[in-house]
Structure 1
Amino acid sequence: MKKLKKFLSQFMLIACLSTFIAPNAEVLPNLSIVSTAQAAAYSKETINDVQEALNYAGYNCGTPDGVVGKNTKTAIRKYQKAKGLKVTGAVNNTLIKSLGVTVHKKTSSRTARTEATVYITRTGSKYHRAGCRYLRQSQIAISLSEAKKYYDPCSVCNP
């Protein structure tokens, strides 16, 4: 019983002190989730074209892969600042228009659900199942039909 009383008194003390120390503290939004949600509105082809346009304009965002990663966000911020646009670090209509990129139609979610997904690595020439040991360093999701066009199947996981 003493331990419970001691625990409750310590808990109440911490709760009271935290309200006095930072009564108006605000929770900051998770910026990566916000930018990912914004980028999810565009197809991989559109994001890939944005990356190519940024690289061509001299803002290095790495190899165009259709995924908005750290390098792409940094390149977008630099481009937006240089062009006097609102600096968000995210793919949006203003950025797309400024770069002169054509927006590609996003595939329907119904189509995406029925088609199998396999994975490729950034540097590899084969496609793999989820969990394959060759996907330790990187894995990029791709549809099985697209993978069959450009890549060979992995001989270890046999997708």
Structure 2
Amino acid sequence: MVQRRGIRQTTGGARWSLLVLIGFVGMLPVWWALLGQLLEHREAYTACSSGAPPGTVGSLENLRFHADSTFLPAGRRCVYDMADGSTQAWQTGWPSTIWALSGTGVCLLVLVVCWLSWRRMSPMQRMLVHVAAGLAVLGWVAIASFAALN
């Protein structure tokens, strides 16, 4: 650490910049899951009607099912009325949700490392780590609100 004129300068800036980059890479799967949820909802009725299991009530053109967007997993759920009186559900979105949860864990880990290394990181690096974590949280809020609205 080098001090000049009372201003504290940090060393090892590339290492902390890599930490910031890891935080932003960890945030990306959350937004990928939101995009997947939006695309799944857009094609929900077509995909649910074409993927109906055998024994569903109704003809091929007039099946009885319900489709909606879900929060966990961030995808689409199709619920079919079966001929025997039961219901059968089909859920999409687990792979993207698992990646999004892993990315959120990476963001939280980077945030904890940032807090533990507060004095060794520059203010801009600290702010960018918090921006990455905030964007991950914002992505989850968007996923939850889209699922609640649809």
TM-score (norm 2): 0.27
Q: Which has the higher contact order (CA 8 A, sep 6+)?
A: 2
Question: Which structure dedicates a bigger proportion of its chain to helix?
Answer: 2
Question: Which structure dedicates a bigger proportion of its chain to strand?
Answer: 2
TM-score (norm 1): 0.26
